[in-house]
Structure 1
Amino acid sequence: MIRISSQQIFSGGINRLQELNTSLNNTQQQIATGKRVNTPSDDPVAAARILRLDQELSRVETYQRNVDLADNRLKQEESALESSIDVIQRIRELTVQAGNGSLSANDRRSISSELEERLGQLANIANTRDASGEYIFSGFQGAVKAFEQNEFGNWTYQGDEGQRILEIDDGVTVPISDAGKDIFVRVPAAAVGENTNVNSGATISGVSVINEADLQAGFPGSFPDDISIQIDENGDITASNSLGPLTVTPATYQSGEPFEIAGVEATISGPLPAATTIDTYTLKINEKQSVFGTIENLIAGLNSIDKTNPAGQAAYDDLIANSLINLDNAQESIILKQTELGGRMNAVESTKTFLEDSSVYSNEIRSRLQDVDYAEAISNLSFQSFVLQAAQQSFAQVSRLSLFDRL
């Protein structure tokens, strides 16, 4: 015969009521929080998977913030470059207008005044700042103004050549900035002639590349560099570069008549050098010039060149022609950078879409593991409440059973 003491009855009843109450509280908590798994003990396997999914979602959210930052920075740079192209296009129109031979000195000064305004506008664009106040074209020196005027009033680059890189996914990085030096300063310049050592008073002008293929052929295996030209007292023209002699066509000097060297045409005007002397000129082929320098030179030329003599007219014509070439090169440089930006923005957009898909998928899996089924939970709550109530009533009846009741 098994004897059950009153204390055992009370302990068993209380333990059972506590178990039922705990289950009821867990179900109430699930309904209140909307989560099936609130503690690891609720479902250890699901809790471990939920923890990994939370870590994955945290990683995705971090990269999504980086993607948004990259997208904003690239869009701001693209907008700045688009604005700079518009300004340079207007400057080009003014340059073409300045080339009109019927303009008076006052007309040229009026054009020069607008060019100065446009130059300042271009500098403001090059000094664009992002939302945090950093200059976007200053490289790593975000706190330093990209372009400042020096003591001579010329705009010069103040930043460095750094390019900021941002990680937008595991192993995926994208540049989010470009140094202004690469965009606005290192612009291929028009080929120009320089009076290197001239005693006769002759001048070189009308320098232009008329055949790119011939120019490249004149420098086999290397990049085109400066060409040196010599004219002696007999009018013989010789030319050479770093690789050796070059062919001159025609090889006999005629004042004011163009000649060609390795695809480059030039004209020299003036007397022959004196006996036993040689005039030397240099063709600058591979120079770089800041777009700001191009505009500054154009403004200075419009204000100072005297067109009343042949030499002045030739210098003015060269100024207009070279300025147009340099402005076209500047626009091309910016357009190339825009193309590069477009590729980066496409990469950012693709990564953004991928991260959004990853977030949706991870959230969906986590929801299946963690979120409560309200219909099932409410049904369980009702059933558990009924069981608890029945257990309480049963315990109340049992707890009154005693031998003393039989006496």
Structure 2
Amino acid sequence: MVRISSQQIFSGGINRMQDINSDLVKTQQQISTGKKVNKPSDDPVAAARILKLDQNLSRVETYQRNADLANNRLKQEESALSSAIDIIQRVRELTVQAGNGSLSANDRKSISSELKERLGQLADVANTRDASGEYIFSGFQGGSPAFVKEDGAWTYNGDEGQRVLEIDDGVTVPISDHGKGIFGSAPAAVSVKETTSANGFISGLSLKNEGAFKAAFQPSLPDDLTVTVGAGNSVSVEDKDGNPMVTTPTNPVVGDSFEVAGIEMALKDAVAGETFTIGINDKQSIFSTIETLITGLDNVSKGTPKGNAEYDALISESLANLDNGQESILQKQTELGGRMNAVESTSAFLEDSALYTKEIRSQLQDVDYAEAISNLSFQSFVLQAAQQSFAQISRLSLFDRL
């Protein structure tokens, strides 16, 4: 025979009601928070998986922010380069106009004035800032303007750094390009760099045969040709190492037009012993090209064969340099397009990954309201019944039977 004391009856009843009430409170918390796992003890396995999913989602969201930042920076750079191309195209149109031999001095000055305005616009584009106020074309020196005007000429003021941003595990994308590579390192036109001649000049200097030119010179390396006037007004050409170059026709003389390595030219008014150095594969700044053109228009000296030849050479070289500068920017735009495509595809992948992660987390964490409300009603009923039963049992006494 087992004896049950009154204290055991009271303790058992209270413990039972506390357990039921605890379950009721847990269900109420699930309904109020919308989560069926509010602490690790609710479901240790699910809690561990939810924690890992939260960490993964946080990582994905960080990469999504980086991808958005990269996309915005690349779009801003692409927009700036489009503006630069428009400006260069207008400068080219003005250069073509300046090549009209019927222009007066005032006409050339008017063209020069607009070129100065366009040059300032190009500098403003090259000094574009991002939303945080940093100059996008200054490399790592974002706090300093990319181009500054020193002694009347625009010069590059940044470094050659390129910023990159990680947009996924092991996936990085460059988000900047330094202005020196875009605006200051375009291929220069073949031109006369220096001469020892007082009155002589080279006329009609131009690249006629691209294939012969590329075969004779390495496109990535600067090179020079030295044109020398010898006895009997003979003309010879040597490369930078002093090796003789083949000319067509052979053995040209002053006044004759000839071709060497795809380059056509003719020496005028030169005498024996004089030399002309022609630059090959040099680099030029678009700013310096426009500045040289402006100077030439302001100080043009025409009326003599040499003056006419120098002016024609200025126009020809300026057009070639502007075309090369524009091509350099177009190539950078193409590169930017590839980067933006990579960012877009990565962003789509991250979005899908985030959606999948949220779905898995929802299955583990989110409460089923219909089930929870049903449980709450049942638990409330059980608690109420337990309380009523305990109240009845607690009033029982052997004295009631006496």
Please give the range of the TM-score, normalised by the shorter of the 2 chains.
over 0.9
3-state secondary structure, aligned to 1:380: helix
**What do the CA deviations read for 1:145-167 (whole angstroms, capped 9, x no partner)?**
000000x2100000000000100
3-state secondary structure, aligned to 2:289: helix
How many Å apart are 1:259 and its aligned residue?
1.3
3-state secondary structure, aligned to 1:228: strand
Q: 1:30 is aligned with what amino acid? A: Q
- Say if 2:234 and 2:251, in contact at 8 Å, map to a contact too: yes
Task: Name the stretch that deviates more: 213-222 or 389-398.
Answer: 213-222
How many Å apart are 1:306 and its aligned residue?
1.2
- Segments of structure 1 that go 5 or more residues without pairing to the other structure are none
- Say if 1:140 and 1:161, in contact at 8 Å, map to a contact too: yes
Question: TM-score normalized by structure 1?
Answer: 0.96
Q: 1:216 aligns with which of 214, 217, 225?
A: 214
Q: How many residues align?
A: 401
Q: Aligned in 2, Cα 1:323/1:252: closer, same or farther, shift over 3 Å?
A: same
- Say if 1:184 and 1:291, in contact at 8 Å, map to a contact too: yes
Q: Aligned in 2, Cα 1:220/1:170: closer, same or farther, shift over 3 Å?
A: closer
Q: 1:338 is aligned with what amino acid? A: Q
3-state secondary structure, aligned to 1:246: coil
1:187 equivalent in structure 2: 186
1:378 equivalent in structure 2: 373
- Say if 1:163 and 1:178, in contact at 8 Å, map to a contact too: yes
3-state secondary structure, aligned to 1:69: helix
Counterpart Cα distance in 1 of 2:164 and 2:270 = 58
- Say if 1:231 and 1:253, in contact at 8 Å, map to a contact too: no
2:232 equivalent in structure 1: 234
Kindly report which structure 2 residues correspond to 1:150-189, keeping only aligned pairs within 5 A, or say none.
150=150, 152-189=151-188
**Is 2:279 the counterpart of 1:284?**
yes
Q: 2:302 aligns with which of 287, 304, 307?
A: 307
3-state secondary structure, aligned to 2:236: strand
How many Å apart are 1:404 and its aligned residue?
3.0
Counterpart Cα distance in 2 of 1:142 and 1:205 = 45
1:333 equivalent in structure 2: 328
Q: 1:205 aligns with which of 197, 203, 206?
A: 203
Counterpart Cα distance in 2 of 1:341 and 1:217 = 31
- Say if 1:238 and 1:251, in contact at 8 Å, map to a contact too: no
Counterpart Cα distance in 2 of 1:353 and 1:298 = 48
3-state secondary structure, aligned to 1:138: coil
Counterpart Cα distance in 2 of 1:144 and 1:220 = 35
What is the identity percentage for the equivalent residue pairs of Structure 1 and Structure 2?
Answer: 67
Counterpart Cα distance in 1 of 2:210 and 2:235 = 22
3-state secondary structure, aligned to 2:231: coil
Counterpart Cα distance in 1 of 2:295 and 2:162 = 34
Q: 1:227 is aligned with what amino acid? A: L
2:100 equivalent in structure 1: 100
- Say if 1:230 and 1:237, in contact at 8 Å, map to a contact too: yes
3-state secondary structure, aligned to 1:267: strand
Kindly report which structure 2 residues correspond to 1:257-276, keeping only aligned pairs within 5 A, or say none.
257-273=256-272
3-state secondary structure, aligned to 1:229: strand
1:121 equivalent in structure 2: 121
Aligned CA RMSD, in angstroms, stands at: 1.5
3-state secondary structure, aligned to 1:2: coil
Counterpart Cα distance in 2 of 1:316 and 1:164 = 42
Q: Aligned in 2, Cα 1:261/1:121: closer, same or farther, shift over 3 Å?
A: same
Counterpart Cα distance in 2 of 1:399 and 1:86 = 94
